[in-house]
Amino acid sequence: MDLDDYLSRLSENKRLSEVKKKIIRELWNRDEFPMEWVASERLLQVTEQKYFDRRARELRDENGADIESLNSSGNHVWRLKSQEISSGNTRAYLPSQEKEKLFLRQEYKCQICGKQTEPGARGLQADHKIPLIRGGSNALDNWQSICNECNVAKRRACQGCEDACSECVWAFPEKTGMLVCIPVPSELVQKLRDFSLHHKQRLWIELARILD
């Protein structure tokens, strides 16, 4: 399969925007899979879109592209793992009225850290508790209100995670307890990362990732 065939197959699940095509063309960077890793900085440069990462996740979740991402030494990278294309799970966004009901029911508080804030791109947001890529649905009971900071941290924590979502603090803070965020020196973050990589302990790997 060549790149044009791949793009055509991806568009069968959902039409590809020009930005998504640019992302795929940049990720399709060798003659065999898995492809080489591409840094976020490069995708930002190619797409000229601040929220290119959202389009990349839509390519994975909705179009079915086998895209994976991770943080490598503090740098966020992406790649096409294989040419397999899944059926995709179309991302839905809560209608304004339903979103307002969600925020009101949860007292305009982030369910992760407890901060009370106004809705908006940099404020309170509606979030899938269990991500679509992990089998989550667009049903109302799979939505929660979280602040922008926790939304970004949750997204990073989910990358490459294979633990059960049902026991995750990011998905079900009402069961596991809220997170308390405190400033952590960058030197400590690096020590935690080095320790986790050396000892292969999942707890430390997750802690280092969250604090990053």
pLDDT in tens, 7-30: 999 999 888 999 999 999 999 999
72 contact partners, CB below 8 Å, separation of at least 6: 37
pLDDT value of residue 72: 72
Q: Which residues of the chain are in CATH 1.10.10.10 domains? A: 3-85
Tell me the CATH number of domain 3-85, given options 1.10.10.10, 1.10.10.200, 3.30.2350.10, 1.10.8.60. 1.10.10.10
List residues bridging with 80 in a β-sheet. 67
CA distance 97 to 106: 14
Instruction: Report angle CA 9, 10, 11 to the nearest 5 degrees.
Output: 90
User: Are the C-beta atoms of residues 13 and 64 closer than 8 Å to each other?
Assistant: yes
Which residue has better confidence, 50 or 188? 50
Residue with tokens 């020196």: 185
pLDDT in tens, 106-132: 999 999 888 999 998 889 999 999 887
Of 89-93, 176-180, 190-194, 208-212, least confident by mean pLDDT is 208-212
Residue with tokens 């899938």: 128
80 contact partners, CB below 8 Å, separation of at least 6: 24, 27, 28, 33, 34, 35, 65, 66, 67
Residue 204: pLDDT band (50, 70, 90) is: very low
pLDDT in tens, 62-102: 889 999 988 777 788 999 999 999 886 666 678 889 999 99
Strand-pair category, 75-85 with 65-72: antiparallel
Strand-pair category, 124-128 with 143-147: antiparallel
pLDDT value of residue 190: 58
Instruction: Indicate the residue type of 191.
Output: K
Instruction: Report angle CA 102, 105, 106 to the nearest 5 degrees.
Output: 85
Question: What is the token pair recorded at 16?
Answer: 């590809």
Q: Which residues of the chain are in CATH 1.10.30 domains? A: 96-176
Domain at 96-176: CATH architecture? Orthogonal Bundle (1.10)
Inform me whether the pLDDT recorded for 142 exceeds 80. Answer: yes
